[in-house]
Chain A
Amino acid sequence: KAGVTQTPRYLIKTRGQQVTLSCSPISGHRSVSWYQQTPGQGLQFLFEYFSETQRNKGNFPGRFSGRQFSNSRSEMNVSTLELGDSALYLCASSGDWTQETQYFGPGTRLLVL
């Protein structure tokens, strides 16, 4: 099985712009979670989607949003980018309620100038 894929892998944006990141989970997985990783804050949970519904949301401003499609692929969007949004954005997928292990993608590195 192919692993979790994320596109693009690298991205450079300027302040005020918006960005959309994409995550394709492992085939058959229905849960997708997003995390932000920065040197200062470490790994922080953004949100989780299961069968196109947001199940859980972390403590991030409304500029951060996401969605999941019927094929379980997920996108996250960040509007009005700030310098502090520079980070590695990781997505993880898992099967369903009983699937324990989460599998992470390689991440998208976003640099905001």
Chain B
Amino acid sequence: KQEVTQIPAALSVPEGENLVLNCSFTDSAIYNLQWFRQDPGKGLTSLLLIQSSQREQTSGRLNASLDKSSGRSTLYIAASQPGDSATYLCAVRKNTGFQKLVFGTGTRLLVSP
């Protein structure tokens, strides 16, 4: 059974810092991995998706990497801003053709001005 863990559970940083969020999964047989952002009481916004054959994806100040063999992914946020404050979730998808995602426990990020 796939288990996804995110460390740290919470993180507080001053504005402008670069930071790394970690995601680990127990079964390396994944199809892809997605990073989401969730604002309080809201739905999920997709940030980046990495296919199992890829090593990293970038979007603006965000960079996500994937090391499938070791069961790890990281989300790097450059020059953090107060608007980045949210909960960040990673999710893995096992099979093509089935959309089931297994979500991590989330990292709650607070960026202070």
Binding site for B on A (CB under 8 A): 4, 31, 33, 35, 42-45, 48, 50, 55-56, 58, 88, 90, 92, 94, 97, 100-107, 109
Contacts and interface: CB of A to CB of B under 8 A. Distances in A.
A58 B43 CA distance: 20
Contacts, number: 61
Interface in B77-112: 89, 91, 96-106
Given A101-B34, A101-B46, A104-B43, A45 B102 contact: yes
Contact of A48 (B51, B91, B100): B100
B100 A103 contact: no
- Which of B42, B45, B51, B89 has the largest number of chain A CB atoms within 10 A? B42
Q: Please classify how large the interface on chain B is, using the bins under 10, 10 to 19, 20 to 34, 35 or more.
A: 20 to 34
A43 B103 contact: yes
A33 B43 contact: no
A45 B1 CA distance: 13
A107 B46 contact: no
Contacts of A94: 99
B41 interface: yes
Contacts of B44: 90, 92, 104
A24 to B, nearest CB: 13
- Which of B32, B43, B105 has the largest number of chain A CB atoms within 10 A? B43
A38 B70 CA distance: 29
B95 to A, nearest CB: 9
